[in-house]
Structure 1
Amino acid sequence: MLKMGKFEYDAVRRHGEETYPHECCGVLLGHPDDQGRVASKTVRCGNTRSDSPHNRYHIAPQELVRVQRQAREEGLEIVGFYHSHPDHPARWSQTDFAEAHWIGCSYVITSVDRGEAKITNSFFLAGETEESKRFEDEKVVVTETAALNEAAG
């Protein structure tokens, strides 16, 4: 299960609308809890994919390192990633699966239909190795509080 505050959930969806018709991408920071993960902060990242940004995304390694450092400084960790699917369903693609390497993280996908965010789904990347990894459907619980890390701690 992935828990998100309404502010964070809306930020993910808004990011997809703002970058339409291209895919948006970003990182979810938070902490694990006894039911899954709590995403208490979103970090927007640039989509560095120049060949097909309308249906692919890529976060530059140096930006990901910066986000990791930021998380550590704030006492958080990377609990997931998000991106949008312009004019496509909020389901993972074979490319999404092939490029997902952070086992134990949530992968959130928002479908954006003609510029409007429609459905947001999450998929947990389970497994022990690249060979055994698999996406599992994951429930997203949206709460009113934005300070989930304080409420859970």
Structure 2
Amino acid sequence: MHGVLLIPPGIRAELETRAGTGYPDETCGLLLGLNGEEFCQVVSQRPARNLNRERAADRFELDPLDYLAAEEAAAAAGIKVIGVWHTHPDHPARPSETDRQMAWPGWSYLILSVTAGGVVDIRSWRLADHDFYEEEVRHG
């Protein structure tokens, strides 16, 4: 099991900006990079449209066309889609039951807790045996 998600400071800054700009709605996207034995290395991120407009403040539905574009960009760069990022406006950076139901094993799920003042917490999770475990998020 992976225990560390490495995020370069520039990509973390991009995510924090997108989270703040999207507030009070949930924003989302994909993480592209490398899955190593000990860690996952984020190389880039791709924003995606949240198709859930009825409950945009507390749900996200990642646009499948944006997912396909991310897969194509990753393949062209010799990397893979390694996870999903999304925000929790005015809520903790912990996965919800809805997040668990939608999660895929083997991917990192980076959650940014955001308020009107900006991002207050960033945490990453992985699904194993129907439950999430937390990954350490490090600058990388």
Interval containing the TM-score (normalised by the shorter chain):
over 0.9
> Structure 1 unaligned runs (5+)?
127-131, 144-153
Q: 1:106 aligns with which of 98, 105, 108?
A: 108
Aligned to 2:88: 85
1:138 maps to 2:129: no
Q: Secondary structure at the match of 2:53?
A: coil
Following TM superposition, where does structure 1 have runs of at least 4 consecutive aligned residues deviating by more than 6 angstroms?
A: none
**One-letter amino acid of the counterpart of residue 92, structure 1:** P
Q: TM-score, length-normalised on structure 1?
A: 0.85
Q: Distance in 1 between matches of 2:72 and 2:130?
A: 26
SS of the aligned residue for 1:82 comes to strand
Contact 2:100 2:132 in 1 (8 A): yes
Q: Could you report, residue by residue, the CA deviation over 1:8-48 in whole angstroms, capped at 9, with x for unpaired residues?
A: 11211211100000001010000012312101101011111
Identity %: 30
Match of 2:13 among 10, 25, 40: 10
Q: Does 1:47 align with 2:50?
A: yes
Listed as ranges, the gaps of 5+ residues in structure 2 are none
Q: Deviations over 1:127-146 (max 9, x none)?
A: xxxxx332111100113xxx
How many Å separate the matches in 1 of 2:33 and 2:55?
30
TM-score (norm 2): 0.93
Aligned residues: 137
- Superposed, which structure 2 residues align to 1:14-53 within 5 Å? 14-53=17-56
Q: How much does 1:115 deviate?
A: 4.1
Superposed CA RMSD in Å reads 1.1
Q: Is the 8 A contact 1:21 1:115 kept in 2?
A: no
